[in-house]
């Protein structure tokens, strides 16, 4: 504990001021571990500037290893991503895998990386990957280390394809440029779920002292245990996703623009279009090559919308293209925009793309499967906070729809279970523009989604229609699904807690949830913090519950669904609302008004009692 050490030192030496004491420890740390001179120089600079708070932040507490692995800024100290913390994490992970797999030394692991680099601290995804490889190799574990940048989905693909024990992807996806991350896949090809996170975290704590060979990434790269899967996996991946190519529209002249937003996607999306025999998309020149500075965008997140797509729209105008596809920097997600008659661009929401891709996947499946009974074996998944449009499609078409908790780790693991039971998992999505169109990758995959979307767009063009029109057709057939999501900012856990507790004790006692919200009556409540669900026979929720996060879902009798939840990583109370209209009701204006009223009622009745302690989402 830093505070106590400070105190000890003061008593022993007396001569150190508070700042100096801290620096004394930092110096010690740097002296012991000056393996990366840039990281060391960063510490020395911070000392020179007397940046006590910054130093404290870096050195006081270790990054938490969760089911999503690690995500933090690159820089010095145990709170940051650097050579030492990568080694410590990988040593722990390696020991944990040894405990779980007697045959780890036969099967091995795969490691991939994106294009991130941080010149100031000397950290980069590529360098971190080679250190992680050195750790495994030093223990005699074979490592399939990609020799070049890859999209994140290539790592889970490789785990499944080669039957490995685990996979690591060094990436911070769409985070700001100074961040990096360490994402972990289990032998089933999906991201880890509890209790693996706790087990790995414990093993990290038990293996903090770097093993001597762990630093020696250069030697490791020459070791015969190290293999480069790049060529084979590249070939195999495109062969496998080609199975999802149903028609041939190569002769078709539909023009599409693609941006990889300075990330890894460019070459892979070009290859995917080629595998689908589609006309190659126009690449946004300024953004097609990896650039750790993400120079042309404020945030490298296509979900943020228009700013990220300005250059894409300009290229599309020049080339006469009507559709823009955008991956995030590690190419596991996909955004799509389409030019409208008004000459404006429409950026589809993740839910709208879920409707379009889900419809397309089923449309293609139906064309290939004349056996009506097979539909009973078919599944689509989405997360609890995503649109329920696929439930409406499933209900009408006779296949299964299931909800999972938020995050692709849940959908990946559920898909694995279903596949193991011999089911067909056709599609899974979440509103945060994540799509799984092929079970060969049990995670979101923006590369296969881009090619499959490309084919859908080509098909629609042959039918003289387009994405916007097709989306309306889907809603006409299965019912309009209109969503509205937002959040409040709240830094006070007590306020958050009392806000949710009030809903649980609305009638004065436990489990007396509200039955009305303004003029809207509530037909069902599911509380995944406590495990209550009054839609189930014994009032017990089917989905896993987590007492450490808040999440309540209300069903309304007008077809509305609203979920309120806290975010694990941000000081937010998020809410997700949707109005699911019956097929045939296409008075969109009225439906929108009804949803607006519902959201107003929720804010007024469920949030406003704490109003002065909540900040609204910034405009
Ligand atoms: C999309 O398709 C619809 C119906 O075919 C058509 O009316 C509309 O003009 C198309 N939009 C654009 C921008 O081409
Ligand atoms: C809401 O309604 C749907 C559809 O009937 C049902 O499947 C679901 O379990 C209900 N409850 C919640 C809390 O979503």
Domain ranges of the chain: 1-60, 63-228, 238-348, 351-478, 481-616
Right CATH number for 481-616 from 3.40.50.300, 3.40.50.920, 3.30.310.50, 3.30.1600.10?
3.30.310.50
Q: Is 310 in the pocket of ligand 2 (CB under 6 A)?
A: no
Question: Is the per-residue pLDDT at 509 higher than 70?
Answer: yes
**Nearest ligand to residue 552 Cα:** 2
Structure tokens at 65: 């290893």
Q: Is 469 in the pocket of ligand 1 (CB under 6 A)?
A: yes
pLDDT of residue 172: 96
pLDDT of residue 464: 93
CA 349 / ligand 2 centre spacing (Å): 23
CA 113 / ligand 2 centre spacing (Å): 40
Phi, psi of 405 (to 5 degrees): -65, 165
The rounded distance, in Å, linking the Cα atoms of 145 and 226 is 7
pLDDT band at 9 (very low <50, low <70, confident <90, very high): very low
Q: Which DSSP helix (H) or strand (E) runs through 94?
A: helix 83-100
Q: Which residue among 469, 471, 473, 474 is best mutated to probe the pocket of ligand 1, counting the most ligand atoms within 8 A of its Cβ?
A: 469
Among 297-311, 483-497, 543-557, which stretch is predicted with the lowest mean pLDDT?
A: 297-311
- Assign residue 527 a region: left if phi > 0, alpha if psi is -120 to 50, beta otherwise? beta
Query: In b/e form, how buried is each residue of 218-237, taking b as 16+ CB within 10 angstroms?
Result: eebbebebbbebbeebbebb
**Contact predicate 281/334, CB 8 Å:** no
Residue-wise pLDDT for 119-136, tens only, equals 999 999 999 999 999 999
Q: Which of 34, 347, 250, 203 is nearest to 195 (CA)?
A: 203
**pLDDT averaged over every residue in the chain:** 92
Torsion (CA) 560, 561, 565, 567 in degrees, nearest 10: -100
Q: If one looks up domain 63-228 in CATH, what number appears?
A: 3.40.120.10
pLDDT band at 567 (very low <50, low <70, confident <90, very high): confident
In this chain, the answer to whether the domains covering 63-228 and 481-616 adopt an identical fold is no
Measured at the CA of 505, the angle between CA 503 and CA 506, to 5 degrees, comes to 65
pLDDT band at 6 (very low <50, low <70, confident <90, very high): very low
**Nearest ligand to residue 470 Cα:** 1
pLDDT of residue 338: 98
CA 468 / ligand 1 centre spacing (Å): 8
Does the 238-348 domain belong in CATH 3.30.2130.30?
A: no
Query: Whose CA is closest to atom 9 on ligand 2?
Result: 535
Kindly state which CATH superfamily the domain 351-478 is placed in. Alpha-D-Glucose-1,6-Bisphosphate, subunit A, domain 3 (3.40.120.10)
How many residues are present in the chain?
619
Residue-wise pLDDT for 127-170, tens only, equals 999 999 999 999 999 999 999 999 999 999 999 999 999 999 99
Distant-in-sequence, close-in-space partners of 106: CB < 8 Å, separation ≥ 6: 142
CA 555 / ligand 2 centre spacing (Å): 6
Q: Per the residue annotation, which of 138, 173, 201, 386 is the catalytic one?
A: 173
pLDDT of residue 526: 98
Query: Whose CA is closest to atom 2 on ligand 2?
Result: 555
Residue-wise pLDDT for 245-288, tens only, equals 887 666 667 899 999 999 999 999 999 999 999 999 999 999 99
Residue-wise pLDDT for 16-33, tens only, equals 334 445 555 655 555 455
pLDDT of residue 109: 98
DSSP assignment letter at 540: B
Of ligand 2's listed atoms, the one at least distance from the Cα of 384 is 14
Please identify which residue in the block is written with the tokens 């990386």: 113
Measured at the CA of 92, the angle between CA 87 and CA 94, to 5 degrees, comes to 90
Structure tokens at 233: 């996996």
Contacts by 541-548, CB closer than 8 A, 24 or more apart? 543/384, 543/403, 543/404, 543/405, 544/405
Query: In b/e form, how buried is each residue of 440-457, taking b as 16+ CB within 10 angstroms?
Result: bbbbbbbbbbbbbbbbbb
**Nearest ligand to residue 536 Cα:** 2
Whether residue 195 is preceded by a cis peptide bond, meaning omega within 30 degrees of 0, is yes
Q: Does the annotation mark 173 as catalytic?
A: yes
The rounded distance, in Å, linking the Cα atoms of 444 and 452 is 13
Q: Is 384 in the pocket of ligand 2 (CB under 6 A)?
A: no
């Amino acid at each position: 504990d830093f505070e106590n050490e400070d105190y000890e030192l003061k008593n022993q030496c007396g001569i150190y001021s508070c700042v100096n004491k801290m620096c004394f420890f930092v110096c010690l740390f740097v002296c012991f571990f000056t393996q990366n001179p840039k990281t060391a120089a960063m510490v020395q600079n911070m000392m020179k500037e007397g940046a006590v708070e910054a130093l404290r932040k870096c050195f006081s507490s270790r990054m938490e290893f969760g089911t999503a692995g690690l995500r933090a800024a690159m820089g010095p100290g145990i709170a940051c991503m650097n050579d030492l913390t990568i080694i410590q994490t990988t040593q722990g992970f390696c020991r944990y895998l040894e405990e779980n797999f007697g045959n780890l030394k036969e099967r091995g692991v795969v490691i991939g990386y994106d294009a991130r680099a941080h010149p100031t601290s000397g950290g980069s995804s590529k360098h971190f990957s080679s250190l992680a490889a050195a750790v495994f190799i030093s223990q005699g574990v074979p490592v399939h280390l990609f020799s070049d940048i890859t999209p994140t989905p290539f790592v889970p693909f490789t785990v499944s394809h080669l039957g490995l024990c685990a996979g690591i992807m060094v990436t911070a996806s769409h985070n700001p440029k100074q961040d990096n991350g360490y994402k972990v896949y289990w032998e089933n090809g999906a991201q880890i779920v509890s209790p693996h996170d706790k087990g790995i975290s414990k093993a990290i704590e038990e293996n903090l002292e770097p093993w001597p060979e762990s630093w020696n990434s250069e030697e490791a790269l020459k070791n015969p245990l190290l293999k480069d899967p790049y060529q084979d996996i590249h070939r195999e991946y495109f062969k496998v996703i080609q199975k999802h190519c149903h028609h041939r529209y190569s002769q078709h002249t539909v023009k599409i623009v693609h941006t990889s937003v300075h990330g890894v996607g460019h070459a892979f999306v070009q290859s995917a279009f080629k595998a689908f025999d589609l006309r190659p998309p126009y690449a946004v020149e300024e953004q097609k090559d990896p650039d750790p500075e993400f120079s042309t965008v404020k945030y490298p997140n296509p979900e943020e919308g228009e700013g990220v797509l300005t250059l894409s729209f300009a290229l599309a105008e020049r080339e006469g293209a009507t559709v823009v596809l955008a991956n995030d920097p590690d190419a596991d997600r996909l955004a799509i925009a389409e030019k409208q008659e008004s000459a404006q661009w429409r950026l589809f929401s993740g839910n709208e793309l879920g409707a379009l891709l889900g419809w397309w996947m089923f449309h293609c499946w139906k064309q290939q499967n004349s056996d009506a009974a097979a539909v009973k074996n078919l599944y689509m998944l989405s997360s609890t906070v995503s649109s329920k449009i696929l439930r409406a499609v499933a209900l009408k078409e006779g296949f299964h729809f299931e909800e999972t908790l938020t995050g692709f780790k849940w959908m990946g693991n559920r898909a694995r279970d279903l596949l193991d039971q011999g089911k067909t998992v056709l599609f899974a999505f979440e509103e945060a523009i994540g799509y799984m169109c092929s079970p060969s990758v049990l995670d979101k995959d923006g590369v296969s989604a881009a090619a499959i979307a490309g084919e859908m767009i080509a098909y629609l063009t042959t039918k003289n229609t387009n994405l916007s029109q097709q989306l309306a057709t889907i809603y006409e057939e299965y019912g309009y699904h209109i969503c509205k999501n937002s959040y409040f900012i709240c830094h006070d856990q007590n306020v958050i807690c009392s806000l949710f507790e009030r809903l649980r004790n609305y009638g004065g006692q436990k489990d007396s949830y509200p039955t009305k919200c303004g003029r809207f009556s509530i037909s069902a409540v599911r509380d995944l913090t406590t495990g209550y669900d009054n839609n189930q026979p014994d009032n017990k929720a089917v989905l896993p519950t987590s007492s450490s996060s808040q999440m309540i879902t209300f069903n309304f009798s007008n077809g509305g669904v609203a979920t309120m939840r806290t975010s694990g990583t941000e000081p937010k109370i998020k809410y997700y609302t949707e109005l699911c209209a019956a097929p045939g009701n296409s008075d969109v204006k009225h439906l929108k008004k009804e949803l607006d009223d519902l959201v107003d009622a929720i804010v007024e009745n469920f949030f406003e009692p704490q109003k002065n302690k909540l900040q609204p989402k910034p405009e």
